[in-house]
């Protein structure tokens, strides 16, 4: 599925489409160039899911936790990982298999650790400044 976002006001609709598309998938990975808008889109998804606190990139902490009326949401940024063992050391399995949403930036750092089922979000900037957001289901 592809969604075109013309401006920041369109992120809420795109976020709702992602949640519907992901269905039962709770691990959602985000791919795109540096500055493509991964964190900005995750902020919109968190808002749709009821997060009221400030959502920010967990670049240095590796994972942020956000409260909702339902299950907690985990937001990962694996950009700074040197290897997959660092994800093991932080206990990634407890998060990924908790039943809570796990939003993962820079999943290319942990290719062998992704679960059997997940949804991928690919964000690309178009020439006109719009964002093309492609949603893909993965079953390993």
Q: Which residues pair with 135 in a beta bridge?
A: 121
DSSP classification of residue 115: -
pLDDT of residue 110: 97
For residues 37 and 121, is the Cβ–Cβ distance under 8 A? no
pLDDT of 77-133, one tens digit each? 999 999 999 999 999 999 999 999 999 999 999 999 999 999 999 999 887 888 899
Q: Could you tell me the two tokens for 36?
A: 């493509």
Which stretch of DSSP H or E encloses residue 11?
helix 11-22
Q: Does domain 2-133 have CATH number 3.40.50.300?
A: yes
pLDDT of residue 117: 95
pLDDT of 25-42, one tens digit each? 999 999 999 888 999 999
Dihedral sign from CA coordinates of 30, 47, 2, 99: positive
**CA separation, residue 129 to residues 8, 34, 62, 67, 135 (Å):** 11, 15, 29, 32, 19
Q: Could you tell me the two tokens for 97?
A: 């298999």
- pTM recorded for the entire structure: 0.94
pLDDT of 41-92, one tens digit each? 999 999 999 999 989 888 778 899 999 998 899 999 999 999 999 999 999 9
pLDDT of residue 130: 87
Beta strand residue intervals within the chain, DSSP E: 2-5, 27-32, 63-66, 73-77, 101-105, 117-125, 131-139
Domain ranges of the chain: 2-133
């Amino acid at each position: 599925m592809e969604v075109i976002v013309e401006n920041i006001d369109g992120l809420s609709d795109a976020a709702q489409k992602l949640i519907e598309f992901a269905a039962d998938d709770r691990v959602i990975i985000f791919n795109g160039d540096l500055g493509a808008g991964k964190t900005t889109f995750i902020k919109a998804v968190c808002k749709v899911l009821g997060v009221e606190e400030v959502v920010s990139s967990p670049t240095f902490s590796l994972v942020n936790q956000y409260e909702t009326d339902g299950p907690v949401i985990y937001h990962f940024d694996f950009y700074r990982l040197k290897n997959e063992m660092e994800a093991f050391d932080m206990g990634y399995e407890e998060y990924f298999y908790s039943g809570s949403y796990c939003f993962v930036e820079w999943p290319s750092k942990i290719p062998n650790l992704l679960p059997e089922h997940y949804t991928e979000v690919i964000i690309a900037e178009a020439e006109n400044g719009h964002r093309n957001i492609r949603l893909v289901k993965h079953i390993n």
